[in-house]
Chain A
Amino acid sequence: MEEPKTLPDTSSSPALAVHAPSFDDPVLDELARRMLSWGNVWFGASEGRETSAEQHRVRERLLYWVKRCVGVKATAVLSSHDENVSLATSSPLLTALLGRKAMLELSRRVLNDS
């Protein structure tokens, strides 16, 4: 029996313009697009690749929190360039210094702040 193909409501997810591989199935296309979007938000944009406005905002918010909570030069510990700082690279340090509970809230702030 075929189950209905539905996606969970992710209205709070950042809307990102990225190129996903094309599938014949529109649901898979949508899923791939969202996976890529979240991948870019989580890992940061790869080098030489343009970032969307939303990705830029997410990175700016992340940098604000890292600098505010840890230290203004803390991003240098994570990467030689601020552009390479992402949730993936900063999470281990932030979780170690602030704890999982605070990191969870901080991630929410980074992703959903308006």
Chain B
Amino acid sequence: MPRAVLWIWRVCAIHYAIGSAAYLHFLLTGSYRYLTLFFLVLGTPFLLLNAAAEFYFAFECRSGFDPDEPLRMTWTFIALAALARFIAAALIFLDHWRPSSFRGSSSLVLGMTLSRSLAEIGEVTGGPLAMILLLIALSRVLSVQHRFGVLRGLSRIDVLMIGVIIAFMIGEAARIAHYLGPSSGRPSLAQAVLWLSDPLLGLLLIQAVLIRRSVNRVGVGLVSQCWGTYVIAILATLAGDASIWATGESLLSEPLVVLTWYIWFFVAAAFASAPAYQLAAMKLPILQKGRVLQR
């Protein structure tokens, strides 16, 4: 495993260890005190750190390709998706801290005005916008893989999975149409854009199924692990999205709802480690040469 990937998961494990202590405290006492402290003081910086790491690795991968190479554009879009996630985490972080920072200050009015919009901009940037950028990037990867014969015919399971995803997307569209019925009010722009999250996630899942196919075909290697990790990150995002839906439908108990919040740390770590695998593959010949020279 590349050193950068190892570090990402080590930090993630430590983060989860601290988080589990806060969760245990919540289970025993029912108090949100340490849980809130954990998510605000450690949670958001963790998300910011991982998004920054993903951006750095993706940007480094991008610089490894010449302007006329197809995967340069892929890494440009992945870097932009990481940047979108970073901005989203930063905005949500600011939104969480805003009330206490602005309390009693002359900027109170400004702070109250920006309150809702900061969170909404963050949700849109880290959600649909980041998904669109990733969607474009993965489409290009699939096109390259198809050109070189890495991506071939789908298995029955793949077709079944794509069928389920399409059915899910149709179901979601029907729900939105039902919601937009005559009795409903006019939705805000942010709300309308956020409705794109599920169809976009569906398209990302179809890409994930196709990439999974190509990863199976080439076996375990640094490049295949990079794309395989993106598949894991997308599936984890789906799990997080499903948990939000289940929470909204009151299907989960309170301790379970709190537990689902922890999914997003795994998602962030997976997104950060995917480009680290690609970078390791690109730097490996140079690194090994360096090692030989040091001897």
Partners in one complex: yes
Please give the residue numbers on chain A whose beta carbons come within 8 Å of chain B beta carbons, in ascending order: 65, 67-74, 76-77, 92-93, 95-102, 105-106, 108-109
Pick the contact of B218: A65, A70, A101, A105 (CB < 8 A): A70
The verdict on B11 contacting chain A, using a C-beta distance below 8 Å, is: no
A69 to B281, Cβ gap below 8 A?
yes
A71 to B224, Cβ gap below 8 A?
yes
* Contact A71 B221, CB 8 Å, known A96-B69, A99-B69: yes
Give the distance in Å from the alpha carbon of A95 to the alpha carbon of B283 in the complex. 13
A99 to B219, Cβ gap below 8 A?
no
B282 to A74, Cβ gap below 8 A?
no
Main secondary structure, interface of A, reads: helix
B71 to A108, Cβ gap below 8 A?
no
The verdict on B249 contacting chain A, using a C-beta distance below 8 Å, is: no
Contacts of A71 in B (CB 8 A): 215, 217-221, 223-224
A-B contact sample (14 more), CB < 8 A, given A68-B281, A69-B223: A70-B221, A71-B217, A71-B219, A71-B221, A71-B224, A77-B150, A95-B69, A96-B69, A97-B223, A99-B282, A101-B66, A102-B286, A108-B289, A109-B289
A74 to B219, Cβ gap below 8 A?
yes
Please give the residue numbers on chain B whose beta carbons come within 8 Å of chain A beta carbons, in ascending order: 64-66, 69-72, 144, 147-150, 215, 217-224, 281-286, 288-289
A100 to B66, Cβ gap below 8 A?
yes
Q: Which residue of A lies closest to B147 (CB)?
A: A96
Q: Which residue of A lies closest to B287 (CB)?
A: A105
B285 to A106, Cβ gap below 8 A?
yes
* Contact A77 B221, CB 8 Å, known A71-B215, A98-B282, A99-B64: no
Q: Which residue of A lies closest to B216 (CB)?
A: A73
Main secondary structure, interface of B, reads: helix
Pick the contact of B71: A67, A97, A109 (CB < 8 A): A97
* Contact A105 B285, CB 8 Å, known A69-B222, A96-B71, A100-B66: yes
Contacts of B286 in A (CB 8 A): 102, 105
B221 to A68, Cβ gap below 8 A?
yes
Contacts of B285 in A (CB 8 A): 65, 102, 105-106, 108-109
Contacts of B283 in A (CB 8 A): 102
* Contact A98 B223, CB 8 Å, known A69-B281, A70-B218, A108-B285: yes
Give the distance in Å from the alpha carbon of A97 to the alpha carbon of B215 in the complex. 13
A99 to B221, Cβ gap below 8 A?
no
B218 to A77, Cβ gap below 8 A?
yes
Contacts of A98 in B (CB 8 A): 64, 223, 281-282
